[in-house]
Amino acid sequence: HAEGLREPTPCDFEVVKCLGKGSYGQVVLVKHREDDREKTYAMKVLDKEEMVQRQQVEHTMAEKRILQRISHPFIVSLHFAFQTSRKLHLVLDYCAGGELFFHLGRESTFTECRARFYAAEIALALQCLHRMLIIYRDLKPDNILLDAQGHIKLVDFGLSKEGVADDHSAKTLCGTPEYCAPEVVAKKGSGRAADWYALGAIVFEMLIGLPPFYSEDPKAMMIAKREGRLDMPGAVSAVAGGFIQ
């Protein structure tokens, strides 16, 4: 575990409420019984049997490894990690502001000033990962949370890959189609540049309301993405357009 001397147990935490459920676990809001009573955490509780059946063991262990290595203001912190016979528990920062995805869905678009603020913090988080030879590979609004002060934190490192120092070593097709770089889709090998592509796609979406090349037909979207001709709407300033391109 990341803090303290004694191995924690589930009994050390008081469950406040359920924050969400997934295919092989849930996330609950908790308080540490011996900690500052006002401090809350988000605890991922993962079912080991389900993880094995869904082939998620390596993804989960990669996330744990990466978060134990990193301390950065714009990346979620892992405070404790422990297990029981049936469950794995990861105790993380609680981000009271929710997903960027939620705010974008509610407001459709952001001002350029607000988009710039989020983009700068995401860029600093990616820079930290890349310096540690980690590529994120799943940058999307669902994986960007806001803390109580409105700053971003990247979460969910299950698809991240360690030991990548270039732009072609990662061969696996993974991530979310709207934010995947063309080289990822083409299975030509990818790396750090794919994370920067995803950031550009998110900035475009924050300003326009949809990701670049978006289509309800995934095949058409991939073809447009490979051709790479992106028309920049007039509402986007020259500076923002240059950054996205």
Q: Which residues are annotated as a binding site for ATP?
A: 44
Positions at the binding site = 44
Which amino acid does the sequence have at 120?
A
Q: Which two tokens stand for residue 58?
A: 């390596």
φ, ψ of residue 91 to 5 degrees: the values are -105, 115
CB atoms inside a 10 Å sphere around CB 38: 6
Q: In a 3-state reduction of DSSP, which class is residue 134?
A: strand
Rounded distance between C-alpha atoms, residue 16 and residue 19, angstroms: 9
Residue 212 class from Cβ within 10 Å (0-12 exposed, 13-18 middle, 19+ buried)?
buried
Our CA angle for 206, 208, 214, nearest 5°, is 100
201 touches 179 (CB < 8 A):
yes
Q: Is residue 174 a contact partner of residue 135, using CB atoms and an 8 Å limit?
A: no
Q: Which residue numbers are catalytic?
A: 138
